Structures are given as structure tokens and as C-alpha cells.
Amino acid sequence: MSENPEKRAEEAEEAEKIPYAKAEVLERFLAKFIDFLIAGTLFFFPLPVGPLAAITYILIADGLKGGHSIGKRIIGLKIVSLAREGAPCDFRESIMRNLPFGILILAYLIIGWIPYVGPFSVILITLAVFAYEAMLVYNEEKGIRFGDRIADTMVIGVD
């Protein structure tokens, strides 16, 4: 199945308007992995504090000082707002761009307790979301994933 050439041309034209270079894919995945390790650690604190802390961290992490989550700060990446001409990502944008991941944690809490079906459903949904986001990061010319499109943000390398 071939992609529409007109659509491809429009995407290339839009990408040319963005003055930032695409961050390295491996660096992005490492940074997100570190952030998920932190959230996973928080998740296992006693109920309800642990899961709430995990969801909160995932949602606001990219709005921390200078548009860096802890993982992105370690790896050397940051989030910039395209709507605000390169200003660091704020908490509102961070929540918007990370909402898919926060919803996954919430889905685990809501349906994950159902024997057999719950954990299996959450795993399938999680794999689908991660696969879609990874495909966008890898294939999209500027590496703008679904969450970035919603929040009008982009991940870039720190100079």
C-alpha cells in the first residue's frame, strides 16, 4: 500500500517550517525509558500515593525546569513549544503531550485487576500505543509523535 504523494509533499512542507533538527531516536527512547523507570518505581509505593505519583510524574515530567524531564536532562534532550516559538515546554503542554501514557497507567488501575482479561487487555493497549508512538518518532521527518502534535511541541537535542 503506497502513501499518497500529495500528503507526503504537504508533510515535507510543514516539516520545513520547523526550524529545529530531529532529536536522535535512540536518545529519545533512552530518555523515555529512564522516565518510565522513575514512574515505575513511584508506582509501587503504597496505594493510592504510588500510582498517583507515577501518573503525576509521567504527565508533568517534561514541564520541569527548562523543558527537561529527568530522563531527558540525563540524555541531553529538551522539549520546546512550537506554538510559543521555541520556549521550553510548560506543565500544560507536558500534560497534553504525555496524556496517552498517563491514560495507560490509569487503564491498568481501572481494568488491570480483572483476572486474565484485565492485564491482557492493558498489555495489548500499551503495546499498540507504544508501537504507534515509536513508529511516528522513527518515520516522521521531525520525529513529532502523536502527543507532540496535540501539544504542538518537539523534542530537540540540547546544544
- Note the pLDDT tens digit of each residue in 48-60: 999 999 999 999 9
**What is the tens place of the pLDDT at every residue in 106-153?**
999 999 999 999 999 999 999 999 999 999 999 999 999 999 999 999
Q: What is the CA radius of gyration of the chain?
A: 17
For residue 121, how many other CB atoms are within 10 A of its CB?
15
Q: 51, 112 in Cβ contact below 8 A?
A: no
pLDDT of residue 12: 66
The DSSP symbol for 153 reads E
Rounded Cα distance, 68 and 60, in Å = 10
For residue 66, how many other CB atoms are within 10 A of its CB?
12
**What is the tens place of the pLDDT at every residue in 89-100?**
999 999 999 999
Rounded to 10 deg, the angle between the 25-43 and 117-139 helix axes is 150
**What is the tens place of the pLDDT at every residue in 60-91?**
999 999 999 999 999 999 999 999 999 999 99
Q: 65, 73 in Cβ contact below 8 A?
A: no
